Amino acid sequence: MTTHRRNGTRPFAPRSNRSTSNSTSRRPDRGVNAKARYEEYIALARAAVRTGDAVEVENYYQHAEHYYRLSKEQAE
């Protein structure tokens, strides 16, 4: 498998060259009111349904699902 395009340029930097700083690593959203965020994203998704933008609807539902799972995890 090659990482070069026909014109000789690389589409992406190799993983080893990507930043791995602790400040940019993804960590759970601590201190976030997950239930409130869940409700917020559900409301945004419902509003997006009315506009007919399926991509936006899916995006908001995926965010809502993330916060739903986070709220369940925090409840344990």
What is the pLDDT, as a whole number, of residue 24?
A: 46
Give the 3-state DSSP-derived string for the chain, with helices as H, strands as E and coil as C: CCCCCCCCCCCCCCHHHCCCCHHHCCCCCCCCCHHHHHHHHHHHHHHHHHHCCHHHHHHHHHHHHHHHHHHHHHHC
Q: Length of the chain in residues, anyone?
A: 76
Residues of the chain scoring pLDDT < 70? 1-32
Estimate to the nearest angstrom the gap between the alpha carbon of 38 and the chain centroid.
13
Residues 76, 62: Cα–Cα separation, whole Å: 22
What is the pLDDT, as a whole number, of residue 74?
A: 84
What is the pLDDT, as a whole number, of residue 23?
A: 45
What is the pLDDT, as a whole number, of residue 25?
A: 47
